[in-house]
């Protein structure tokens, strides 16, 4: 079975590595073209490309995968299966038609819920208690193909995006490998998605990460969890009379402790935000130009005359 693997970020690279270690032969790796990154805008390769080149795999990183030259190159491979994992570019119908068996996609949600770019983050931000991994047939419409296999996992109460992503990666490894074995035996059955249950997971923008203190503190806690370790939840405080941006990395929420109005207090080297819904403790934070640190550590060294929410 000739397989072409499409992917770009670390998540994809880990999955590709697992397939290779499990004896799966990959005829070609397709990834996004090299891009400038960082403050110095140095051109860098995707994690998938770095892995492929380090292992001597044939790797293709076109400007556009759906352009004519790219399609012809993919056609020449004569693939049975295209495996797409967080590739990051829309794939044309012409490409979807190329493999003899199927073009399949690994998606980190329980489809039809959370179609789109940020399913892990959005599930946490929405306070979901479960999510999972879905492997589906790819169609032109985003994340709308028939479901081949799916596995559910619980979201722990304090779990962050980073922690849940690692958990879903391990599930994806197991599920994808089993799905490929099933394709070797014959085309596995697939179930159409229920369009009545569709929800969407839009890409996370910087403005999505800004804390709105008018919202319930439980929602703020979920936001902090959902965008940790990146891009990170942020707010502004008035510190010693000066407007100061603040990133909040880790929080703890209690429903039991309440106050009539939303207010910020410092008690015993703890930073607490209380409201009529409950209390949020800021456990880790980051000020401009500083490293991420425990709040208690910052409070011990900071000379705070006044501090308030904005």
Q: Binding site for (6S)-5,6,7,8-tetrahydrofolate, residues?
A: 109-112
| 231 cis-preceded (ω within 30 degrees of 0) | yes
Positions of the chain with pLDDT lower than 70, given as ranges: none
Q: Do domains 3-201 and 206-309 have the same CATH topology?
A: no
What's residue 193's pLDDT? 99
Q: How far is CA 210 from CA 39, 89, 95, in A?
A: 23, 27, 39
CATH of domain 3-201: 3.40.50.170
Average pLDDT score over the chain: 96
Q: Determine contact, residues 198/112, Cβ cutoff 8 Å.
A: yes
For domain 206-309, the CATH architecture is Roll (3.10)
Q: Point out the annotated binding site.
A: 109-112
Q: Where are the domains of the chain?
A: 3-201, 206-309
pLDDT at 138: 98
Residues 6+ apart with CB under 8 A from 249: 224, 228, 229, 232, 233, 283, 284, 285, 286, 292
Q: What is the pLDDT of residue 39?
A: 73
DSSP string, the chain: --EEEEE-SHHHHHHHHHHHHTT--EEEEE-PPPEEETTTTEEE--HHHHHHHHTT--EE--S-TTSHHHHHHHHHHT-SEEEEES--SPPPHHHHTSSSSEEEEEESS-TTTTEES-HHHHHHHTT-SEEEEEEEE--SSTT-SPEEEEEEEEPPTT--HHHHHHHHHHHHHHHHHHHHHHHHHSPPP-B---GGG--EEPPPPGGGGB--TTS-HHHHHHHHHHTTTTT-EEEEEEETTEEEEEEEEEEEEESS---SS-EEEE-SS-EEEE-SS-EEEEEEEE-TTS--EEHHHHHHH---S-EEE-
Angle at 208 between CA 207 and CA 213, to 5 degrees: 90
Give pTM, 2 decimals. 0.95
């Amino acid at each position: 079975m000739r397989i072409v693997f499409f992917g770009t970020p670390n998540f994809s690279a880990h999955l590709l590595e697992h397939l290779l270690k499990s004896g799966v032969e990959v005829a070609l790796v397709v990834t996004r073209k090299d891009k400038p990154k960082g403050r110095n805008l140095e051109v860098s390769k995707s994690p998938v490309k770095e892995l492929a080149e380090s292992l001597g795999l044939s790797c293709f990183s076109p400007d556009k995968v759906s352009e004519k030259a790219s399609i012809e190159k993919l056609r020449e491979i004569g693939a049975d299966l295209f495996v797409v994992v967080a590739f990051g570019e829309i794939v044309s119908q012409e490409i979807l038609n190329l493999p003899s068996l199927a073009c399949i996609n690994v998606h980190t949600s329980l489809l039809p819920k959370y179609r789109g770019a940020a399913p892990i983050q959005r599930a946490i931000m929405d306070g979901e208690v479960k999510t999972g991994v879905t492997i589906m047939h790819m169609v032109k419409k985003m994340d709308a193909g028939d479901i081949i296999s799916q596995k559910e996992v619980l979201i722990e109460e304090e779990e962050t995006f980073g922690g849940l992503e690692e958990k879903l990666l391990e599930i994806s490894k197991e599920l994808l490998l089993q799905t490929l074995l099933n394709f070797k035996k014959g085309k596995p059955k697939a179930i159409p998605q229920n369009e009545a249950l569709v929800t969407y997971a839009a890409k996370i923008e910087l403005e999505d990460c800004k804390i709105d203190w008018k919202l319930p503190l439980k929602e703020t806690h979920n936001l902090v969890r959902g965008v940790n370790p990146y891009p990170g939840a942020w707010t502004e405080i008035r510190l010693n009379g000066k407007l100061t941006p603040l990133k909040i990395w880790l929080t703890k929420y209690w429903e039991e402790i309440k106050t009539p109005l939303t207010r910020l207090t410092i008690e015993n080297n703890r930073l607490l935000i209380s409201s009529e819904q409950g209390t949020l403790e800021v456990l880790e934070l980051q000020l401009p130009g500083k490293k991420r640190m425990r709040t208690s550590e910052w409070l011990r060294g900071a000379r705070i005359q006044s501090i308030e929410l904005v």
